[in-house]
Amino acid sequence: MSEIFLKIQRPLSEKLPEIVELDQLCLGGLWTLGGYQRELDNPKTGFLSLTSRTKPTDAPELIGCGCFWSILEEAHITLLMIHPDYRGRGLGNLLLYSLLKQAVTQGLERATLEVKDSNTKAIHLYKKFGFKLAGKRKKYYQKTGEDALIFWRNDLAKPSFLESLTHWQGQIQSQLLEQNCILEEEL
């Protein structure tokens, strides 16, 4: 398997059209270009893109994106997506870890999100990071009539969470190494 070089950063404005395309592919069109631009313009929004390239000199290709709103002391995770061709390699772990780390850096104390009850992959991912089911919104998704599960992750400001972050960091680094993925910047 050839090496891929990965970078996580707040997206550049010019990357937003690619994010809209990825959103259409992964989430069926959650937000428009204007919606993503508003997120980028809001300095309190946690907004991360994940790009890859096979050579450090190549143009980076967008392969993932995650976002949270910072509301009082809470991180409301609104979006998490990895390009279908890159799933199952630990990149969802990497992106969620990076969002949570940023939430901690911003001094936030809790994280929450909603997920379709049929989305077992994402539910496994969230549970792995200590999210606990807190409730259900019946028929929340208008297109499919599916229920939304509401998850919360408390204690982001506690020392035990920092220990967990360190633990996940080690796991993610080994997973990336196995997949021949090289992070261009430290986790």
Active site members: 114, 126
Segment near ligand COA (CB under 6 A); pick from 8-16, 50-58, 81-89, 151-159: 81-89
Segment near ligand COA (CB under 6 A); pick from 40-48, 84-92, 146-154, 176-184: 84-92
Segment near ligand COA (CB under 6 A); pick from 52-60, 68-76, 124-132, 150-158: 124-132
CB count within 10 Å of CB 51 equals 22
Q: Sketch the per residue contact string, 147 through 176, with ligand COA: x for CB under 6 A, - otherwise.
A: ------------------------------
- Strands 181-183, 4-9: pairing is parallel
How large is the greatest C-alpha to C-alpha distance in the chain, in angstroms?
Answer: 49
Q: Sketch the per residue contact string, 88 through 117, with ligand COA: x for CB under 6 A, - otherwise.
A: xxxxxx---------------------x--
12 lines the binding site for ligand COA (CB under 6 A): no
Give min distance, CB of 109 to ligand COA, in A: 21
121 lines the binding site for ligand COA (CB under 6 A): yes
Give min distance, CB of 27 to ligand COA, in A: 6
The footprint of ligand COA (CB under 6 A) covers 26-27, 80-82, 87-93, 115, 119-122, 124-125, 128
